[in-house]
Amino acid sequence: MTSLVLTVIGPDKPGLVEQLSHAIVSHGGNWLESGLSRLGGKFAGIVLVDLPEAQVNSLQAALQALQSSGLKVSSEISDDQAREVSLKPITLDLIGHDKPGIVRDISQALAARQINVEHLDTQLVSGSMSAELLFKAEAQLLAPESLDVDELQAALESIASDLMVDISIN
């Protein structure tokens, strides 16, 4: 079996998931994991599928044919390798007034400490006491076992103060 990572984007309309899943199943594929969303009027996402190696080329051709309905699909063969067992999971939660640079500043601090972002969800939400938009983020991270969590917390608190956001890590 071969694993493919698919990225999809197109104008949001009913039936896109059905078209995608039909193409996958028609080529002996199995839909394993996905994250799909409506963003800015577009339907976008990423999907992990397994299928027989002999079907990879024909599935890729079928996925290209979906472009006629507006759905652009690209695919990459997965090269997922076994992870180091010495990584520890961390959850990061952030909320604050929306402004440019929040993701950049936090991701720079994480990258400098060799922390991998495994999953990131962000959204704009209305403040409970006002109509002002708040930026909210939740990240699932993998950090080296040797990470000094207190040093990370201090670095993030410094950034949070500059950005005027609240950050917590678990």
Find the mean pLDDT for residues 134-155.
93
The half-sphere exposure of 46 on its side-chain side, counting CA atoms within 13 A, is 6
Question: What is the spatial distance between Cα 166 and Cα 163, in angstroms, rounded to a whole number?
Answer: 9
Report how far apart, in Å, the C-alpha atoms of 21 and of each of 2, 27, 30, 146 are.
17, 10, 9, 42
At residue 141, the pLDDT reads 96
Rounded average pLDDT over 57-80: 93
CA dist 125 → 22, 35, 59, 129, 157 (Å): 35, 20, 39, 12, 22
- Percent residues over pLDDT 90 in the chain: 79
Sequence-distant (≥ 6) Cβ neighbours of residue 119 within 8 angstroms: 139, 140
Question: Are 37 and 12 a contacting pair, CB within 8 Å?
Answer: no
Q: Residue 164 has what pLDDT?
A: 86
Tell me the CATH number of domain 87-169, given options 3.40.50.300, 2.60.40.10, 3.30.450.90, 3.30.70.260.
Answer: 3.30.70.260
Q: Whose structure tokens read 């990459």?
A: 76
Q: Residue 143 corresponds to which amino acid?
A: A
pLDDT in tens, 82-96: 555 689 999 999 999
Q: For position 86, what pLDDT does the model report?
A: 81
> Where are any strands of DSSP class E within 52-105?
72-77, 87-97
* pTM > 0.85: no
Please provide the average confidence, as pLDDT, over all residues in the chain.
Answer: 91
Residue 25: both structure tokens together: 């199943």
CA-to-CA dists, residue 132 to 98, 104, 124, 125, 162, angstroms = 9, 22, 10, 8, 19
pLDDT at residue 33, as a whole number: 93
Domain with CATH 3.30.70.260 in the chain: 2-77, 87-169
Helical (H) or strand (E) element with 85: none
CATH code at 2-77: 3.30.70.260
Amino acid, single-letter form, for residue 73: V
